[in-house]
């Protein structure tokens, strides 16, 4: 029997996927493909190239741009550090295994509420979320619940609320997250109706 070990994402989710016929941890499968690291490398390379090009074109302007970049980053760093801390706590106490239990648990309205609340407060990357959702679907969870979880996960950000409020103001943050929460139910019902048939 294959046992789930702590994978590259540092979670013991217990979700098994198959790659080339061999069992592999769901998160490992996507991390092994190097998708996220590649994105970062490309982003850094592009930024370095752009800065170099700018420097050759106009030195004074580039220095000004770097100063602005530094000032904006330092200015918003307190809010980002809070998001960092909150996400760290969330990942620890709301593990994929636990998320799975909440979403897979109930059918009906309580189950929908649980899926939406868990989706709203979690902030996990797609390469962990989608395999998790797929394994739940395979085990017979309703597509409505899964769609609700995926939708709230992506659109509603409770943990990033302090950051969003700082940038956009309180009213926008409340309106956007509130509407996104309600809209996620619409998405879920439609997806459930289309996939469930």
Partner 1 sequence: MRGLLRYRLFLAIVAFDLLVLAFRPATGITLFGHSWRVLAQMLGLLPPVFLFLGLLDVWVPRETVMRFVGERSGVLGMALSIVLGAAAAGPLYGAFPIAEAMARKGARYLNILIFLGAWSTLKVPMFLFEFSALGPRFAVTRWAVNVVGIIGMAYLIDRLMSPAEKAILGSGTAGGGRAERTRS
By the 8 A CB rule, do 69 and 156 touch?
A: no
Q: Where in 49-68 is the site for partner 1 (CB under 8 A)?
A: 50-51, 54, 61-62, 64-68
Q: Where in 83-142 is the site for partner 1 (CB under 8 A)?
A: 83-89, 91-92, 123, 125-127, 130-131, 133-134, 137
Q: How far apart are CA 106 and CA 130, in angstroms?
A: 20
Q: How far apart are CA 127 and CA 38, in angstroms?
A: 14
Q: How far apart are CA 11 and CA 4, in angstroms?
A: 9
Q: Is 34 in the site for partner 1 (CB under 8 A)?
A: no
Q: What DSSP element (H or E) covers 50? A: helix 35-57
| Least CB distance to partner 1 at residue 141 (A) | 11
Q: Which is nearer to partner 1, 111 or 143 (CB)?
A: 143
Q: Is 149 in the site for partner 1 (CB under 8 A)?
A: no
Q: How far apart are CA 175 and CA 118, in angstroms?
A: 19
| Least CB distance to partner 1 at residue 28 (A) | 14
Q: Which is nearer to partner 1, 80 or 117 (CB)?
A: 80
Q: Is 82 in the site for partner 1 (CB under 8 A)?
A: yes
């Amino acid at each position: 029997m294959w046992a789930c070990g702590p994978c590259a994402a540092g979670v013991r989710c217990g979700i098994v996927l198959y790659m080339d016929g061999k069992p592999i941890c769901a998160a490992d499968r996507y991390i092994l493909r190097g998708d996220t690291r590649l994105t970062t490398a490309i982003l850094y390379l592009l930024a370095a190239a752009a800065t170099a090009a700018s420097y050759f074109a106009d030195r004074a302007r580039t220095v000004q741009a770097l100063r602005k970049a530094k000032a904006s980053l330092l200015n918003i760093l307190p809010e980002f550090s809070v998001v960092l801390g909150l996400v760290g706590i969330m990942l620890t106490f709301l593990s994929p295994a636990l998320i799975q239990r909440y979403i897979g648990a109930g059918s009906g309205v309580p189950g929908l509420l649980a899926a939406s609340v868990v989706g709203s407060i979690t902030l996990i990357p797609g390469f962990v979320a989608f395999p998790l959702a797929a394994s739940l679907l395979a085990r017979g969870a309703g597509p409505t619940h899964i769609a609700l979880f995926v939708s709230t996960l992506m659109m509603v950000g409770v943990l990033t609320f302090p950051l969003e409020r700082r940038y956009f103001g309180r009213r926008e943050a409340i309106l956007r997250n509130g509407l996104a929460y309600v809209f996620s139910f619409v998405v879920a019902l439609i997806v459930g109706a289309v996939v469930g048939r």
